[in-house]
Amino acid sequence: MDAMTSSSLSLKGFSFSELFTVDGLSKLDSTFLEFLKAANAVLHARLLRYRKRDPLSPQELSELLIECGPHVEAFLADLFSIKEAVKQLQTATLKESPIFAFKKFYVLREARRALKKAGEVDNFASLDRWVTEQLVERGLETEDRELAIATWGQQLLKDPKANAEPIEGLTSWCVAAMSQQAGQAAVKDWVSFGLHKHLNYENLVETHPVPEDPFGRMEGPRESRRHRDGFRLTDPRMDRREALAHVHYCIYCHKTDGDFCSKGFPVKKSDPSQGLKINPLGETLTGCPLDEKISEMHALKKKGFGIAALAVVMIDNPLCPATGHRICNDCMKACIYQKQEPVNIPQAETRILTDVLDLPWGVEIYDLMTRWNPLRQEQYVPKPYNGKKVLIMGMGPAGFTLAHYLLMEGFAVVGADGLKIEPLSRELVLQPLRSYEELRERLDNRVMAGFGGVAEYGITVRWDKNFLKLIYVSLLRRPRFQVFGSIRFGGTLLVEDAWRLGFDHLALAVGAGLPRELQIPNSLAPGMRQANDFLMALQLTGAAKPSSLANLQVRLPAVVIGGGLTAIDTATEVQAYYIAQVEKTARRYEKAVQFFGEDSVRARFDSVSLEILDEFLQHGQAVINERCRAQKEGRPVNFIPLLRQWGGVTVAYRRTMQESPAYKRNHEEVIKALEEGIYYAEGLDPKAVKIDTHGWATALVCRWRVMDEEGVWMVTDEEQTLPARSIFVATGAKPNIAYVYEHKGTFLREGFDYQRFEFANNQLQPLKGEIEHCKSENFGPFTSYEEKEHRVSFLGDTHPVFHGSVVKAIASAKRAFPKIVKALEHNHRFNGDQKEYESFREQMNALFQAEVVDVRRHTPDMVECRIRAPMAARNFRAGQFYRLQNYECLSPLIADTRLQTEALAMIGVNESAEADVISFIVLERGGSSRLVATLKPGQPISIMGPTGCYAKIPEGNSKTIMIVGSSMAAAHLRSLGPALRKAGHRVFYVALIEKAEELYCQEELEAASDSILWVSEKDEHVDLHRPQDKAMQGELISALRNYTLEKPAIPLESVDQVYVIGPASLLRGIQKAREGLLKEYFKPKTEFIASVYGPMQCMMKGVCAQCLQWQIDPATGKRTKAVYACSWQHQPMELIDIKNIDERLLQNRTQEILSDVWLDYLFATESIERV
């Protein structure tokens, strides 16, 4: 890593770069211990005994941490020369204390008691005038009326007897404020009058029937509606006073070892063997999966010690930016308050973090405490480099947390992810950040970095993703950490590759996958897609940005099927995205029409796309009009009436809301979604999708389900038809174990999970049966793999015990890393030195980073792009393909448009002359493919793969393989032909060409085949270089029949296998001819394999599910199952639902055409260099 520079940061006794070295941090720790000893020698001795693992009771440990915390804060304030700023934070915190004391005495005690006689108190107005007079008389600042009244109230209590009369008057004022309408309005937003409601587990979410709704839907209270506009952070979080109210609401149960929010709520505290309590919703009250010291955190924050409170958080949760508000609530569920609203611990935790981040050098204080925290019993400083190296597949919450812990243990860590991970600016990594604002981005305009896995693409802007960036920066600063995106486990990297590259351990944190399709008529019709597909497309491509060229098409009304958090998130984002989509459509269309003319632009659209375009234009103009009205009237925009006028978004669930996973696990998210105006429909079981004459979805037909007296759901004959132009399926996913199926025999599995093993007695021992919860002692972090002391662990969403939650994924890393370290103790790798590590680091950079070699144009609509990508090239097998993208942060911004490609599925060819170089033929058939011509030599590029299913080269006797198709078939031939010929098989290529220009690589195609038949529908001249090749003019089927009459070198009757590579129209034509005009020319057992080139996004085999395609029963023609085409892109032709390929490709058709028009506009009006 390049040297860290100190910029303007002046550290007392240290350089900035020292804080990233083991020696420097050890020196820092020693300096702190001297500082502590000078301040309190007894406390210093207690801390050292704690580090030596002297036994402490839970209460003694809490006391030690709370006593040490302020000294850590004072030391850091001195180190960073920010004593004044820290004092100001302490003052600002303590200034609020009178409010909470006032609430406790006057509101909750005295006024509550007097409420029975509320009718006897004077009216609020007169009491309020009296209070104002008292405040003015005492010179109390009345701008912050709540604080002024609270301060006065506390002053009165210093002498209760002498002040009995004003105390009684103030109590009467409180009673009037609580009971009279004018009073309630006056204190509406005061935390001192915020009373904690009784918990009714059957009614945690307030809903009301939608008036006169024919579909029986529910909605949230109208008075709580939020007027969302776009993709900025939708939840600004509690302010300091609100968060501190919850800090003071806590009763600090650590004093009695009753801090169940952290440790879990026992059935019986005195008998741990009875396990943990289960709440009325059926949720086990585990408390914080990380065992975060919450009560101690609150105790320190209450006293004003913000840095100290954060230091306590970071004992167990060093990557706390990834937890907290809108992420987890396990702690709240296990709070001691089980019958009333619990302490909002996530809000308090996040506020403690942001208070520190907002200090001068706050980012650096947080970052330092990830590496050095004297309150930790272990890992208070990092250990020296031990020479061992760990590869972590997956950089989501589990992966990046495991990286942190292993780095602290002295390992070198390489993180890898299948997503494209954007590079960070050198300044953020190498220079200290004085202000958090230097790192922060507006969420609606941020770079979709890809780092963070599901936290990046699965969590919406309800959560501040700048926290992900903070973690990304922190990890990249570690001297022995590297991260690489676009690495597919099972393609780019195999298990065996890890050992060959010098890794000692492989950890799998590859998340969940395999979203489930719905087996109902017309499923996956245009307009219907998986929720994962939508969320990933929205949050990785930046489709909602005005600058984006990404194509994501949504229509209203929309229905989301499912009851989990994915369904809830999808519903809110569909609404917000629809507004952004139609507004961008209207603005771009207007400019394009001004330049090209309306007739010219509209001629580009087919009739169905034109109909959808006009719908978008009408709605887009309505959005623009509402913006104008709101600006004129000085109010926020309100799009909810428009969205509802157009049909809105409905979440449809098969049970009651109370039975849904979202309600049980995080009902607050359901409340927040209803605030945005979504509808909710219960008891609906999807039966079929209705389609229009064009085949597009128009409605979701559901069967009503009712519950009998015993609580059992039954399906009725009654149907409900929900209008739906867009349907999103969010019915669950499974742990990602694609490797098991792709590389059989590597791992054992148990059902749909990797089989779990513990490492004991120097060997793996299998675990059987279900684990109770995420805090169970033995959970089995290892897979079955064991080869020469090499083992593979798995965690996060991939692990059944920790599946389904960000904080559990983080906990899996915290709990797994000691077991991984233990398993590697007997690994006798030498202790590495810096020179050895630098060599390893350079090797990783060389292997995993890709760059453009050159881009060459061969025809007016075809370019060849060569990319140097050593590791991606190394494991390529004939028939596979790659995912190609440019980086957002490296792509130019032209006329407010980012020239960023979507993910392109590309067939690559390894050039024998340069083994590390992959060649791609790019047909310019849309906006993204046309942008490839703008790439420059040496430009970093994202190339993920190989992926897909490799072609099975026939074994045994020589076979004759026929490959037929147009330009896509040529790319396939370049990939597969040489491998087939090398294995002794004959290759017959039937090339469909439109123009003679397409023959630019004729010699290469000839070298990959034994014979070629060139078929041109037009009279294009083809120079034949070999006697066995032929050229014919006309349509394909006729050409093939004529070919058989000319004594060809390779007769059709000798063909054993046919690859049909091209669009659905080609597949349809050959399928029909195979049973008709060509039937007599092929052997009965000739195998036909055809391409299934539908839409694709992640191409990681079952994560986003955009590539789902139906298969059929060849005998009946009925659909049987949906398969992931990115993992099986060439299928037996008789199994393919060819019509469904066309349907799937229509999903974004209108947007694709408009993006193409817009790119034409940019090329015509701007100076954009391209080959």
Residue 754 pLDDT exceeds 80: yes
d(Cα 617, Cα 636) in Å, to the nearest integer? Answer: 23
Residue 8 in domain: no
Give CA–CA dist 827/506, Å, rounded: 14
701 has pLDDT over 70: yes
Shared domain for 987 and 1088, answered yes or no, is yes
**Other beta carbons within 10 Å of 437:** 11
DSSP label at residue 205: S
- What confidence score (pLDDT) does residue 1096 get? 97
Pairing of strands 986-993, 960-965: parallel
Burial 845-883 (b: 16+ CB within 10 A, else e): eebbbbebbebeeebebbbbbbbbbbbbbbbbbbbbbbb
Phi, psi torsion values for 1113, nearest 5 degrees: -80, 120
Q: What's the rounded mean pLDDT across residues 19-36? A: 98
The sheet with strand 862-868 has its strands ordered as 851-859, 862-868, 917-923, 908-910
Q: What is the CATH number of the domain that holds 1044?
A: 3.40.50.80
CA 543/CA 548 separation, integer angstroms: 6
Q: pLDDT tens digit string along 235-265? A: 999 999 999 999 999 999 999 999 999 999 9
Cα Dmax for the chain = 120
Cα torsion 377, 382, 386, 388: sign: positive
Res. 912: pLDDT tops 70: no
Distance separating alpha carbons of residues 27 and 6, to the nearest angstrom: 18
Q: What is the mean pLDDT of residues 283-299?
A: 98
Asked if 917 and 1055 sit in the same domain, the reply is no
Tokens of 721: 């038809």
Q: What is the pLDDT of residue 8?
A: 84
285, 264 contact by CB (below 8 A)? yes
Instruction: Enumerate residues 6+ apart whose C-beta is below 8 A from 1069.
Output: 1036, 1037
Does one domain contain both 826 and 859?
A: no
Residue 1017's pLDDT is what?
Answer: 83
Q: Do residues 110 and 178 share a domain? A: yes
Residue linked to tokens 């097998």? 877
Do the Cβ atoms of 623 and 582 come closer than 8 Å?
Answer: yes
In a domain, 471, yes or no: yes
In a domain, 502, yes or no: yes
Same domain, 133 and 123: yes
Residue 944 in contact with residue 849, Cβ under 8 Å? no
For residue 12, what are the CA distances in angstroms to 18, 37, 77, 310? Answer: 12, 18, 10, 21
Percent of the chain with pLDDT over 70: 99
Q: Measuring CA to CA, how many Å separate 1145 from each of 362, 528, 802, 877?
A: 49, 12, 36, 27
Closest CA to 358 of 300, 401, 310, 400: 310
What is residue 286's three-state secondary structure? coil
Residues 6+ apart with CB under 8 A from 877: 946, 950, 951, 979
**Model confidence over 1040-1098: pLDDT tens digits?**
999 999 889 999 999 999 999 999 999 999 999 999 999 999 999 999 999 999 999 99
Tokens of 1129: 């892109």
**Residue 424: strand pairing partners:** none
991 and 1076 belong to one structural domain: yes
Residue 251, SS3 per DSSP = coil
What span, in angstroms and rounded, lies between the C-alpha atoms of 1152 and 1158? 10
SS (H, E, C) 734-781: EECCHHHHHCCCCCCEECCEECCEEEECCEEEECCCCCCCCCCCCCCC
Contacts of 1032 (CB under 8 A, 6+ apart): 1013, 1014, 1015, 1016, 1039, 1042, 1043
Among 807, 834, 861, give the residue marking a domain's end: 834
For residue 868, what is the domain's CATH number?
Answer: 2.40.30.10
- DSSP 3-state of 244: helix
Pair 413, 406: CB distance under 8 Å: yes
Q: Tell me if 1152 sits within 8 A of 1146, measured CB to CB.
A: no
What is the average per-residue pLDDT within 127-156? 94
Domain end residue (candidates: 702, 729, 756): 729
What element of type H or E holds 403?
helix 397-408
Residue 203 lies in a domain: no
What is the pLDDT, as a whole number, of residue 994?
83
Whether residue 607 sits in one domain with residue 617: yes
Residues 1008-1035: what's their mean pLDDT?
A: 91
Given a cut of 60, whether residue 1157 has pLDDT beyond it is yes
Q: What is the pLDDT of residues 808-820, one digit of tens each?
A: 999 999 999 999 9
* pLDDT score recorded for residue 4: 66
Give pLDDT tens digits for 777-786.
Answer: 899 999 999 9
**Can you point out the beta strands (E) in 132-172?**
none
Same structural domain, 769 and 695? no
Q: Which long-range contacts (CB under 8 A, 24 or more apart) does 993-997 make?
A: 993/966, 993/1020, 993/1022, 994/966, 994/1018, 994/1020, 995/859, 995/1020, 996/1020, 996/1021, 996/1022, 997/858, 997/859, 997/860, 997/862
Domain range for 993 = 949-1098+1105-1136
How many angstroms separate the CA atoms of 524 and 1144, rounded? 7
The tokens 């420097």 sit on which residue? Answer: 24
Q: Is residue 432 part of a domain?
A: yes
Residue 700 has pLDDT above 90, yes or no: yes
Q: Within 13 Å and on the Cβ side, how many CA atoms surround 765? A: 9
Contact indicator for 281, 82 with CB cutoff of 8 Å: no
CATH of the domain at 698: 3.50.50.60
pLDDT digits (tens, 9 = 90+) for 165-220: 999 999 999 999 999 999 999 999 999 999 999 999 999 999 999 999 999 999 99
The CA distances from residue 555 to 379, 580, 1151, in Å, are: 52, 12, 11
User: Against a cut of 0.75, is the pTM above it?
Assistant: yes
Tally of domains in the chain? 5
Q: Determine the pLDDT at residue 1.
A: 54
Q: Are 92 and 84 in contact (CB under 8 A)?
A: no
What is the tens place of the pLDDT at every residue in 505-526?
Answer: 999 999 988 888 899 999 999 9
Helix (H) / strand (E) element for 292: namely none
Instruction: Name residues whose C-beta falls within 8 Å of residue 889's C-beta, 6 or more positions apart in sequence.
Output: 422, 423, 447
Q: Tens digits of per-residue pLDDT, 816-874?
A: 999 999 999 877 666 778 899 999 999 999 999 999 999 999 989 999 999 999 999 99
Whole-angstrom Cα distance, residue 926 to residue 24? 54
Question: Rounded to an integer, what distance in angstroms lies between the CA atom of residue 973 and that of residue 984?
Answer: 16
Q: Is 1163 within a domain? A: no
User: Tell me, what's the pLDDT at 1000?
Assistant: 78
Q: Can you say whether the dihedral through the CA atoms of 1141, 1142, 1147, 1150 is positive or negative?
A: positive
Closest CA relative to residue 687, chosen from 444, 521, 908:
521
Residue 1029 placed within a domain: yes
User: Looking at residues 564-575, what average pLDDT do you find?
Assistant: 98
Q: Of the ranges 217-226, 352-361, 993-1002, 1085-1094, which one carries the lowest mean pLDDT score?
A: 993-1002
Express each pLDDT in 489-509 by its tens digit.
999 999 999 999 999 999 999
Asked if residue 647 and residue 703 are part of one domain, the reply reads: yes
User: Cα(586)–Cα(601) distance, rounded to whole angstroms?
Assistant: 13
How much of the chain, in percent, has pLDDT values that exceed 90? 92
Give mean pLDDT, residues 1143-1167. Answer: 97
For residue range 706-740, what is the model confidence (pLDDT) as tens digits? 988 888 899 898 999 999 999 999 998 888 999 99
Task: Say what the pLDDT of residue 1049 is.
Answer: 93
pLDDT, position 998: 75
How far are the Cα atoms of 1, 430, 815 from residue 20, in angstroms, in the given order? 11, 11, 25
Q: Pairing mode, if any, of strands 558-561 and 726-729?
A: parallel
List the end-to-end C-alpha distance of the chain, in Å, as a whole number: 35
Whether 913 shows a pLDDT value over 80: the answer reads: no
What phi and psi values does residue 13 have, to the nearest 5 degrees? 85, 0
Of 474, 400, 403, 463, nearest in space to 433 by CA? 474
Nearest to 505 by CA among 785, 743, 742, 755: 785
Q: Same domain for 827 and 858?
A: no
651 belongs to a structural domain: yes
User: Assign residue 957 a region: left if phi > 0, alpha if psi is -120 to 50, beta otherwise?
Assistant: beta
Residues 748 and 777 in one domain: yes
The number of residues in the chain equals 1171
Which amino acid, one-letter code, is at 389? K
Residue 123 sits in the same domain as residue 189: yes
pLDDT of residue 5: 65
Where among 930, 948, 966 does a domain terminate? Answer: 948
Helix (H, G, I), strand (E, B) or coil at 299: helix
Beta carbons within 10 angstroms of residue 824's beta carbon: 21
Average pLDDT, rounded, for the chain: 96
Which residue reads 């820290």 in tokens? 86
CB of 779 closer than 8 Å to CB of 793: no
Per-residue pLDDT at 926: 93
